[in-house]
Chain A
């Protein structure tokens, strides 16, 4: 899709039956305070935020404060299954999230390796298949493996979220070849780059490649000024999207003057 005839105002992100005007999804963790988190969400323009379920700690009310701020934001909720290591754990947590947050959306995370937080492809597919049969709208966090993406689509996922690089590393798009292959092979699937984005320029690069959106957390939350960084990412994601829709020029090996050569007034012309 070049989108050459697409009106900017009608360019929305479709995730199952949900339509969003912002293509930036952000996490709610790691901010200096719940108030700064709320300001960053607002500055980002994001309409969908991730959150989780954890044991209630009566001596620490920060979870409650964060939850109250998120509710006030009117964002669509995307609960995650972070920390799960098996399909069964993820399914249980997804069912608990559906009751707590009253949404069928679930960001499916099944971790296969604790060192680089790499998703377990086998358990992720198993969980996705069962959750979709249970009526969930599954957004699976996955690697950039083409065959894994095929399997997730085959069990009914309508959105895929391949990593740029491991969670929290900020290393950006670790394997652009794989990511471009996924984009090219699944042109009509909503594809979100999830994890590893550290700079606005990396988010912009993914959007220029034709990805449909970006999900990130640490790069905003851990910035010196999270609110300003949220705005920077919003602008980068939008800029990358507009560039993709406008159609990038083909790169080439040889130089080509942009100023007309005809009529050049200097003596070195023949």
Chain B
């Protein structure tokens, strides 16, 4: 099935969890960056909204995704 993370589409197995989708996106990211591990996302560096609803970290592995789900993955940034 197709999901989106920060506007980029990924193909993941049906009924994948958020954790599995993040692993897939990390693999894809590593390929883009020639497998440099420091470019990968670490769980404490970001938070997630699924279809515009906040999902706590504790629920990543138990949250099953649906086709066309949209994940927003946000990290600390400067702000006024």
Task: Point out residues on A near B: beta carbons under 8 Å.
Answer: 27-31, 37, 50-56, 58, 63-64, 66-67, 70, 79-80, 82, 88-89, 92-93, 95-97, 99-101, 167, 217-218
Question: Can you list, as one digit per residue, whether each of B37-80 has a CB less than 8 Å from chain A (1) or not (0)?
Answer: 00101000111110011101100000000000000111111111
Given contacts A56-B41, A96-B54, contact A37 B78 (CB under 8 A): yes
**How far does the Cβ of A220 sit from chain B's closest Cβ, in whole Å?**
10
**How far does the Cβ of A79 sit from chain B's closest Cβ, in whole Å?**
7
Enumerate chain A residues within 8 angstroms of B56, measured Cβ to Cβ.
Answer: 99
Q: Compute how far the CA of A82 lies from the CA of B29 in the bound complex, rounded to whole angstroms.
A: 28
Q: Compute how far the CA of A159 lies from the CA of B56 in the bound complex, rounded to whole angstroms.
A: 27
The closest CB in chain A to the CB of B56 belongs to: A99
The closest CB in chain B to the CB of A95 belongs to: B54
Given contacts A53-B47, A58-B33, A100-B47, contact A66 B80 (CB under 8 A): no
A51 touches B47 (CB 8 A): no
B52 touches A50 (CB 8 A): no
B33 touches A52 (CB 8 A): no
The closest CB in chain A to the CB of B49 belongs to: A92
B74 touches A100 (CB 8 A): yes
Q: List 10 A-B contacts (CB under 8 A).
A: A27-B80, A52-B77, A54-B74, A55-B7, A55-B75, A58-B29, A58-B33, A58-B41, A79-B79, A100-B74
A80 touches B54 (CB 8 A): no
Instruction: Report the interface size class on chain B.
Output: 20 to 34
Q: Compute how far the CA of A177 lies from the CA of B22 in the bound complex, rounded to whole angstroms.
A: 53
Q: Which of B49, B53, B77 has the most CB of A within 10 A?
A: B77
The closest CB in chain A to the CB of B73 belongs to: A56
Q: Which of A30, A56, A88, A97 is close to B80, meaning CB atoms less than 8 Å apart?
A: A30
A52 touches B79 (CB 8 A): yes
B34 within 8 A of A: no
B6 touches A55 (CB 8 A): yes
A63 touches B80 (CB 8 A): no
Q: Compute how far the CA of A53 lies from the CA of B74 in the bound complex, rounded to whole angstroms.
A: 6
The closest CB in chain B to the CB of A99 belongs to: B47
Enumerate chain A residues within 8 angstroms of B74, measured Cβ to Cβ.
Answer: 53-56, 93, 96, 100
**How far does the Cβ of B30 sit from chain A's closest Cβ, in whole Å?**
10
> Which A-B residue pairs are the 7 nearest by beta carbons?
A52-B79, A27-B80, A217-B80, A95-B54, A67-B76, A54-B77, A53-B74
